[in-house]
Structure 1
């Protein structure tokens, strides 16, 4: 019982982010952070410069300027066992629209749709309203191309599991 209480206290005061997105094909969080040496090789090789040094020096994804092209350069340059390329998909993240989307305020905006190459974002029409975004999670690759063009910062990537 004491161990459970101590663990709860530790989690209560922890500053560790739980919504961090690691590079594509990363192993689960604990396996990743246990093996990553924080050498920055993946950061330096990223062709779109979306891999940044995050909390504790570990690499994490920042979609504020660009998208992931799934080029696998981060996987290929890494000398440590932090990636699993046997996975069917690079990650389980998909785009999610937050409540502050401009369409919720009656503003016609489709910047996310225009940026989405796999066409996972469409807009549903309704009489007397601006079209609202709809995400096809089966088509969404989680590349993050829709994140930076959003003028309201209303798109985030969330794990599907």
Structure 2
């Protein structure tokens, strides 16, 4: 059976689709995920930070604007999943954080360090620039992808992108 494309489904319903759907940590490949997930909501219920929500078609997805706005990598969602849609055999993060310099206030000369203040791994460093202001630099080598920096950003300059 072919997996439903949520973007196409939304378009056919007359809605502009969210361009990116981020599945919970340890999600299997998208086609396998939509085939095996029963949409029971158990992973949504056990998420301690409340960032796993029921998305398009009732499938769970990550919304960093909800709850505490970050993933603790606690494995509760995997333990709760009896459908094998989430598996510890997979990589935990199926997303990578990116910084859009054009949307960032600091890159426009405005003093803002919101993202760095919330980053638990200190993967966002502020480097001095000519003119005296500091701009963020995201070190993807130490970023754990938790998403804690996304929600506090006033201009949505940080986002998670699906990888793989």
Task: Classify the TM-score, shorter chain.
Answer: 0.7 to 0.9
> What residue number does 1:81 align with?
84
CA contact (8 A) 1:93 1:141 kept: no
Report what 2:123 is aligned to: 120
The answer on whether the counterparts of 1:26 and 1:82 sit within 8 Å (CA) in structure 2 is: yes
Q: 1 CA distance for matches of 2:160 and 2:98?
A: 6
Q: Partner of 1:137 in structure 2?
A: 140
TM-score, with length taken from structure 1: 0.85
**CA 1:131–1:72: 2 relative to 1, 3 Å:** same
Structure 2 Cα separation of the partners of residues 112 and 134 of structure 1? 10
Find the counterpart in structure 1 of residue 65 from structure 2.
64
Q: Report SS of the residue matched to 1:104.
A: helix
| 3-state DSSP of counterpart to 1:20 | coil
Q: Distance in 2 between matches of 1:92 and 1:136?
A: 17
Q: Which deviations, in whole Å up to 9, do the C-alpha atoms of 1:5-57 show, x marking residues without a partner?
A: xxxxx79x666655111000000111111100000101011100000110111
Aligned residue pairs, count? 150
Q: How does 1:4-153 map to 2 (within 5 A)?
A: 17-65=18-66, 66-87=69-90, 89-98=91-100, 99-153=102-156
- Return the index of the structure with the highest Cα Rg: 1
Q: Distance in 2 between matches of 1:31 and 1:17?
A: 21
Distance 2:38 2:19 in 1: 20
CA RMSD in angstroms, aligned pairs only: 1.9
Q: Unpaired runs of 5+ in structure 2?
A: 1-7
Segments of 4+ in structure 1 off by > 6 A? none
Q: Decide whether the 8 Å contact of 1:92 with 1:142 is kept in 2.
A: no
Distance in 1, Cα, partners of 2:17 & 2:151: 24
The runs of 5 or more residues in structure 1 that have no matched partner are 1-9
